[in-house]
Amino acid sequence: SQKERSHWFELVQRQARGEIRELELQVRFELTPRKQRDDGTWERASYYVADFVYIEVASGKRIVEDVKSPATRKNPAYVQKRKQMLAVHDITIKEI
C-alpha cells in the first residue's frame, strides 16, 4: 500500500540518522508449530508476517510494526494473530 511504502521510507531515514538499526521488511514469526493429529494427518503451522521489524537504538528494544487500516485492525483473523504474538513471543505489535 501507499501508506506502507511511505512508512518504509520514513524508517530508512530513521536508520540513516542512527535512531534505529537492523531494519527488516516482511519478517515471519511462527505462532503455532506443525503438529501431527491422532489420525496421522498433519496440521500446518501458522505464521504472522510483520511489515517492519527493527531495533530502537535508545531503548535497545525490538519493535514490530504493521501498517493497518482501521477496518483491518478489527479483522478477527488479524486480532487473533496479534493476541498470539503477545502470548507466544511477548511482542506487542505497533499498529501504524
Q: For 64-90, how does the pLDDT look when each residue is reduced to its tens digit (9 = 90+)? A: 999 999 999 999 999 999 999 999 999
**Spatial distance between the Cα atoms of 47 and 89, rounded to a whole number of angstroms:** 12
Under 8 Å between Cβ of 21 and 57: yes
Where do the domains of the chain lie? 2-31+44-95
What's the rounded Cα separation, in Å, for the pair 81 and 49? Answer: 10
**Do residues 21 and 55 lie in contact, with contact meaning Cβ atoms separated by under 8 Å?**
yes
Any idea what DSSP says for residue 93? -
What residue type is 93 in one-letter code?
I
Confidence of residue 1 (pLDDT cuts 50, 70, 90): confident
